[in-house]
Amino acid sequence: MVLYVLPVSEMHIREPGLVVVDVAAADDVTALAFERMLAGRWATVTAESTTRDPGQPGVRLRCYLDLCQGFTAGS
Is the whole-model pTM more than 0.75?
no
Residues in the chain: 75
Residue % of the chain over a pLDDT of 90:
23
Assess contact for 59 and 27: CB atoms under 8 A.
yes
> Domain limits of the chain?
15-70
**pLDDT tens figures, 19-47:** 888 899 999 999 999 999 998 888 888 77
Q: For the CA atoms of the chain, what is the radius of gyration?
A: 13
Give the number of other Cβ atoms within 10 Å of residue 63's Cβ. Answer: 20
The pLDDT score that the predictor gives to residue 31 is 94
CA distances from 31 to 36, 39, 42, 68 (A): 9, 12, 17, 23
The pLDDT score that the predictor gives to residue 75 is 45
Give the number of other Cβ atoms within 10 Å of residue 74's Cβ. Answer: 4
- Confidence band, pLDDT 50/70/90 cuts, at residue 11: low
